[in-house]
């Protein structure tokens, strides 16, 4: 249930009304002409409803104000909520105010269509068309929205890797399964992590991440393969040097957060942010081989061994690097997949690394 903490209301007649969390209300005309809906009446309604009512109840109250506008042949008010949800309250002269949730792609659809369609005969069908494409309920679940073949194709295209590292090719079936894993001639496997805008507003470009924690062969060559013990007790500096052999780098904090948010959508936020015991090697006090606990196309993202990131900071005790994901020494609720800590650059027996290319 949403309460009214911050609401901005504006209509096609250029009225702007705002409500602050402390209950203060302001209202002003954006232009000097065409104003038909009562600013004073809307302000009074908003003052009365701050922090007390749901968006539906507020919408009905605003609808009454719109309906009561004596000099309005047609009036519209759009409430824009703090989370971006938009509700249109309108009176088209029929005497029956309507409350419609506006989707982002259709909120200005009427004006856009009228700007394109000039034919007088076609004009009369615009309102009928808009009735079919707008939603007249206060909540719409994304899964209930019909997805066209064109939309599906667009999503699949966006999910495709933006580049292919030199010397790699797709694993058999990777394109059909949409996991987009790639492999080189030495058998090193990397998983595509698509571009994502994080909850904090940052946009993280897509990247390939080693599917497995990095191990090493008998000659000390780094590998991203299944069935080998991760390379631990490696310093931050050496891990960076080993990553450069793939023409790569250590993962960043933002990239790790991008994976966490993607996994939270598929396996649930609790397993990623609160307790990752079911998806990782925790409290076993023993390092396990790569290839276990496959989540979001990568293995052992949670537990087993910490992962060096490329971020360090200066402290009073020297430079410390950020590590992510927890280890076999910890509990899944103490250091979940999204967990982080700081470590001296010399490393430890439960810290390994992954490579981004």
- Residue 73 is predicted with a pLDDT of 44
Q: How confident is the model at residue 354 (pLDDT cuts 50, 70, 90)?
A: very high
**Higher per-residue confidence, 141 vs 260:** 260
Q: What percent of the chain has pLDDT over 90?
A: 50
User: Would you give the DSSP letter of residue 252?
Assistant: P
Location of structure tokens 């309507």: 98
Q: Quote the CA–CA distance of 324 and 209 in Å, as a whole number.
A: 14
List, for residues 227-254, the tens digit of each pLDDT value.
999 999 999 999 999 999 999 999 999 9
- Asked whether residue 117 carries a pLDDT value surpassing 60, the answer given is no
Tell me which DSSP letter residue 279 carries. Answer: G
Question: Has residue 103 got a pLDDT over 80?
Answer: no
The DSSP result for 24-91, as a single string, is -EEEEESSSS---S-HHHHHHHHHHHTTTS-HHHHHHHHHHHHHT-TT-SSEEEEEEETTS-EEEEEE
pLDDT tens by residue, 297-328 = 999 999 999 999 999 999 888 999 999 999 99
The DSSP string of 104-158 is TTTTTHHHHHHHH---HHHHTTHHHHHHHHSB-SS---GGGS---HHHHHHHHHH
87 confidence band (pLDDT: 50, 70, 90) = low
Rg for the chain, CA atoms, rounded: 27
pLDDT per position as a tens digit, 133-145: 443 333 333 333 3
pLDDT band, residue 179 (cuts 50/70/90)? confident
- Please indicate whether residue 218 or residue 156 has the higher confidence score (pLDDT): 218
Q: What is the pLDDT of residue 47?
A: 55
Instruction: Quote the CA–CA distance of 252 and 104 in Å, as a whole number.
Output: 32
pLDDT at 130 over 70: no
259 confidence band (pLDDT: 50, 70, 90): very high
Q: Which residues on neighbouring strands pair with residue 15, listed in sequence order? A: 29
- Give the residue, 10 or 275, on which the prediction is more confident: 275
Whether 209 shows a pLDDT value over 80: the answer reads yes
pLDDT for 49 equals 53
* Record: fold of 155-352: 3.90.1580
Ordered by start, the domain boundaries in the chain are 7-143, 155-352
pLDDT of 174 above 80: yes
């Amino acid at each position: 249930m949403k309460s009214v903490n911050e609401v901005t209301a504006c209509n096609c007649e250029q009225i702007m009304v705002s409500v602050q969390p402390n209950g203060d209300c302001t209202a002003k005309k954006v232009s000097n002409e065409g104003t038909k809906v009562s600013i004073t009446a809307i302000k009074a309604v908003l003052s009365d409803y701050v922090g007390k009512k749901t968006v539906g109840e507020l919408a009905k109250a605003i609808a009454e104000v719109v309906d009561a506008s004596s000099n309005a042949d047609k009036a519209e008010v759009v409430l824009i909520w703090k989370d971006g949800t938009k509700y249109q309250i309108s009176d088209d002269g029929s005497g029956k105010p309507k409350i419609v949730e506006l989707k982002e792609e259709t909120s200005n659809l009427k004006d856009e269509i009228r700007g394109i369609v000039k034919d007088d005969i076609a004009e009369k069908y615009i309102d009928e068309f808009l009735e079919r494409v707008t939603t007249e309920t206060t909540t719409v679940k994304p899964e209930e929205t019909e997805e066209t073949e064109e939309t599906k194709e667009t999503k699949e295209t966006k999910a495709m890797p933006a580049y292919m590292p030199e010397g790699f090719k797709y694993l058999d079936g990777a394109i059909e399964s949409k996991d987009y894993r790639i492999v080189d001639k030495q058998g090193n496997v990397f998983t595509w992590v698509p571009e994502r805008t994080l909850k904090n507003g940052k946009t993280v470009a897509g990247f390939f991440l080693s599917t497995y924690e990095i191990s090493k062969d008998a000659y000390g060559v780094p590998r991203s393969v299944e069935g080998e013990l991760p390379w631990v007790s490696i310093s931050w500096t050496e891990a960076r040097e080993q990553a450069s052999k793939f023409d790569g780098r250590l993962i960043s904090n933002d990239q790790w957060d991008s994976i966490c948010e993607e996994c939270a959508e598929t396996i649930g936020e609790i397993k990623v942010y609160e307790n990752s015991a079911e998806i990782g090697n925790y409290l076993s006090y023993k390092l396990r081989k790569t290839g276990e606990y496959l989540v979001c196309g990568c293995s052992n993202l949670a537990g087993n061994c910490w992962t060096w990131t490329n971020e360090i900071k200066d402290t009073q005790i020297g430079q410390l690097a950020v590590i992510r994901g927890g280890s076999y020494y910890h509990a899944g609720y103490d250091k979940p997949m999204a967990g982080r800590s700081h470590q001296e650059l010399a490393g430890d027996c439960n810290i390994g690394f992954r490579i981004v290319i």
